[in-house]
């Protein structure tokens, strides 16, 4: 039987299994209407559809955060993706749901660490490039475009 080289998705799935991480598609299938409704209620300038998109994008970011931690790389919420931090706060307020979600998908609680005021980490260009490379590869072009297209077009960076 001829050898068939594994494709990137197969390699990623095997790596995720070794890291004890779910497939991103499994995680993104998670729904929590209460969290989205609460977020929408407390941020009325966003539509329900936008709030749902933020929630889904947060799930992707959280998955990426846990994925990057396995290689000892920090993942920050900054600038254009700070809205995802507000989603995280909303999810954490729904404590039982958040704890159950973390245990189901990550096997443990994913803590939200804050930086002391005045001591916030400033991303280096290398850290930003590393994050954007991973986000582009793992979360997709559309995810990047939703949050960074204005910035990327200003720097004449094309995807």
Question: What is the per-residue pLDDT for 9?
Answer: 52
**Alpha-carbon 130 to chain mean position:** 14
Question: What is the per-residue pLDDT for 11?
Answer: 43
> pLDDT digit string (tens) for 34-48?
999 999 999 999 999
Question: What is the per-residue pLDDT for 159?
Answer: 44
- Band of the pLDDT at 112, cuts 50, 70, 90? very high
Helix (H, G, I), strand (E, B) or coil at 85: helix
Helix axes 33-42, 82-93, angle to 10 degrees: 120
**Side-chain half-sphere of 7: how many Cα atoms within 13 Å?**
1
Q: Higher model confidence: residue 111 or residue 150?
A: 111
Question: What is the per-residue pLDDT for 5?
Answer: 42
Q: What are the residue ranges of helices labelled H in the chain?
A: 8-19, 24-28, 33-42, 48-69, 82-93, 95-106, 125-134, 141-154
Q: Which pair of structure tokens corresponds to residue 94?
A: 């729904």
Residue 1 has pLDDT above 60, yes or no: no
> pLDDT digit string (tens) for 45-97?
999 999 999 999 999 999 999 999 999 999 999 999 999 999 999 999 999 99
The pTM for the full model equals 0.84
Q: Over the chain, what is the mean pLDDT?
A: 87
Rounded to whole angstroms, the Cα distance separating 85 from 93 reads 12
What average pLDDT does this structure show over 130-154? 87
- Band of the pLDDT at 2, cuts 50, 70, 90? very low
- Band of the pLDDT at 118, cuts 50, 70, 90? confident
Cβ proximity of 27 and 59 under 8 Å: yes
């Amino acid at each position: 039987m001829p050898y068939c080289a594994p494709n990137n998705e197969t390699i990623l799935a095997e790596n995720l299994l070794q890291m004890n991480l779910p497939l991103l598609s499994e995680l993104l299938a998670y729904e929590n209407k209460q969290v989205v409704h609460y977020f929408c209620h407390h941020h009325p300038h966003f539509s329900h559809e936008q709030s749902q998109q933020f929630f889904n994008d947060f799930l992707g970011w959280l998955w990426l955060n846990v994925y990057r931690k396995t290689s000892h790389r920090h993942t920050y919420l900054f600038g254009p993706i700070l809205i995802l931090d507000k989603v995280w706060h909303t999810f954490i307020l729904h404590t039982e749901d958040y704890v159950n979600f973390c245990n189901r998908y990550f096997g443990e609680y994913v803590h939200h660490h804050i930086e002391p005021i005045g001591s916030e980490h400033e991303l280096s260009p290398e850290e930003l490039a590393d994050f954007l490379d991973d986000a582009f590869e793992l979360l997709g072009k559309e995810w990047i475009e939703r949050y960074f297209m204005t910035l990327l077009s200003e720097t004449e960076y094309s995807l």
